[in-house]
Amino acid sequence: RINIQRMHRVFAVFVWSSSWDRMCRTNIFRRVKDGGLGLTHMFIRQLVNRFLFLRDQKDPFLRTVIQLRLYNVLPEFVVASCDDCFSGAYGYFKEVVCAYRFLATRFSLEYLSEVSRKRLSRDLIDLLFPVPLYRSRYSAGPGLNVLKRVKKMVVPANVKTFFFKLHSETLPVKTWLIAKGVPTAWSEHCVLCKQPESIEHVFLDCWDAVFFWDVLQRTLKKDLPLSPHGIRYLSVEGIGTVPYDLIMLLGLHSIWQCRLAVRHADI
């Protein structure tokens, strides 16, 4: 079941010739501070529930049934006093056995005997879903909890959505649209600078961005981290009474809104 998404992507790319299914979306199940969205993965929840049903069972009748049915199937985990226990794992008990074997091949018995539900779920997510590529490039830099900070900011929801697209490099700039096979007007170049319209160009190198950041920094009397890492992680030093990361986020959003207004002829 863990290979279903891989099979879907293989069919989408090589059979259906889709240009939209080339990137992995499993990062949405990681925690917010780790670069995901914190969504619940149903297969992982099912694994944890099946295993805890086996380990933390306190009902006398169910414990007796587990000892009689699963002693010969899981002798290293289930303890029973009978030697001729009925062995057979069918239906729900078969799912319990599969969940235990899935976890036993990845974790030690000492760990499984003491771990809590929340810790087991988090460790499974970290084990099964690798770090997103857009975060692995800056894994050693500051501000890795940027999504958690942005989530707590008192800003409109569309601003948070914009920043997540910027952070995950899915913002619909022209170079990204062309790479996805989406037709764009004129060419992939910026209207002002005649350079490829990438994320770095829009927010750092374009004339609009250069003038905007110059005026903003002079007004705030503060040097902002104007770099590919800085605009994605809002790693402003001296965050305290003045929310410089919030100001920088609103500045990035205003630049993008101006870009969309020019693209859609709304001005």
Residues 237, 183, single domain; the answer is yes
Q: What does the block give as tokens for 8? A: 């879907």
Residues 159, 228, single domain; the answer is yes
Residues 121, 192, single domain; the answer is no
3-state class of 196 per DSSP?
strand
Residues 156, 247, single domain; the answer is yes
Asked if residue 37 lies in contact with residue 28, where contact means CB atoms within 8 angstroms, the answer is: yes
Looking at residue 21, what is its pLDDT? 47
Looking at residue 199, what is its pLDDT? 93
In DSSP notation, 211-244 reads HHHHHHHHHHT-----SHHHHHH---TT-SSS-H
No. of helices (H) and no. of strands (E), the chain: 14, 0
Q: Which residues contact 160 (CB under 8 A, 6 or more apart)?
A: 150, 151, 153
pTM of the model: 0.68
Number of structural domains the chain divides into: 2
Looking at residue 131, what is its pLDDT? 75
3-state class of 203 per DSSP?
helix
Q: What does the block give as tokens for 185? A: 């007007």
Q: What's the domain range around 44? A: 40-128
Looking at residue 5, what is its pLDDT? 60
165: in domain: yes
Question: What are residue 189's DSSP bridge partners?
Answer: 196
Q: What does the block give as tokens for 162? A: 């914009």
Looking at residue 53, what is its pLDDT? 93
Residues 70, 124, single domain; the answer is yes
Distance, in Å, from the CA atom of 7 to the CA atom of 264, rounded to the nearest integer, reads 38
Q: What does the block give as tokens for 239? A: 């965050």
Residues 152, 256, single domain; the answer is yes
Report in angstroms the alpha-carbon separations of 50 from 8, 29, 79. Answer: 27, 20, 18
Residues 159, 230, single domain; the answer is yes
Low-confidence ranges of the chain (pLDDT < 50): 21-22
Alpha carbon 151 to its chain's center = 14
Residues 237, 176, single domain; the answer is yes
Report in angstroms the alpha-carbon separations of 211 from 2, 16, 107, 199, 263. Answer: 49, 45, 54, 17, 19
Residues 207, 239, single domain; the answer is yes
Looking at residue 42, what is its pLDDT? 87
